[in-house]
Amino acid sequence: MKLSTLLRTKGKDYFYIMHLSYGGGDKERLWNYAKKNNLIGISHREIIDYDWKVDSELAKNRISGIWVRQFNMFCNEMKNDDIVVILDGWHYILGIIESLGDYEYTPKLSRHYDGDFFGYTRKVLKWTKSFDYEKRLSIQKPLYGFNNTLSEVRRDIKWWTNLSTVDF
């Protein structure tokens, strides 16, 4: 199946792309945790003590505008039926999600509290596809320049073409 087919089936004209890493590292361990526990998450060391739904105004003053936008997307804007493509860098897809739970604040999961993951999470209710890390799907047209943790992709964004035609 192609991502474009899944998008059409669900009546979506956008999807999200997401990296799971600590500053670009620890990808395999984080992916294995995400897959095993059916979670995706984000974090930032400067705001782990703040629940974004409760304390976002306090947290916003501690992080950059790019991070504020990513936290707003993850915690407030993403819908339960949104499609999320989990990436390993610019060259690989680790998994595709088509159903998410609500945002949860669980600081004990964060490595800043000796946890194994991130403090801001969403349950994965349905994976369309999830690959073992060593068998991740290669992207024919890499996503050069995607350096954020999370981004929304619409038809006018360059990564739409790179990913919507991927056959998984």
Q: Is residue 113 pLDDT above 80, yes or no?
A: no
Q: Three-state SS for 151?
A: strand
Of the listed ranges 13-17, 57-61, 82-86, 108-112, the one predicted with least confidence: 108-112
Residue 114 has pLDDT above 80, yes or no: no
Tens of pLDDT, residues 120-168: 999 999 999 999 999 999 999 999 999 999 999 999 999 999 999 999 9
Q: In which band, very low, low, confident or very high, does the pLDDT at 116 lie, cut at 50, 70 and 90? A: confident
Cα dihedral 61/64/66/68 (nearest 10) = -20
pLDDT of residue 119: 94
Please name each of the domains of the chain with its CATH number. Answer: 3-164 (3.10.590)
What pLDDT does 6 receive? 97
Alpha helix ranges (H) inside 49-156: 52-60, 65-72
How many other C-beta atoms can be found within 10 angstroms of the C-beta atom of residue 159?
22
Mean residue pLDDT of the chain comes to 94
Q: What pLDDT is recorded for position 149? A: 95
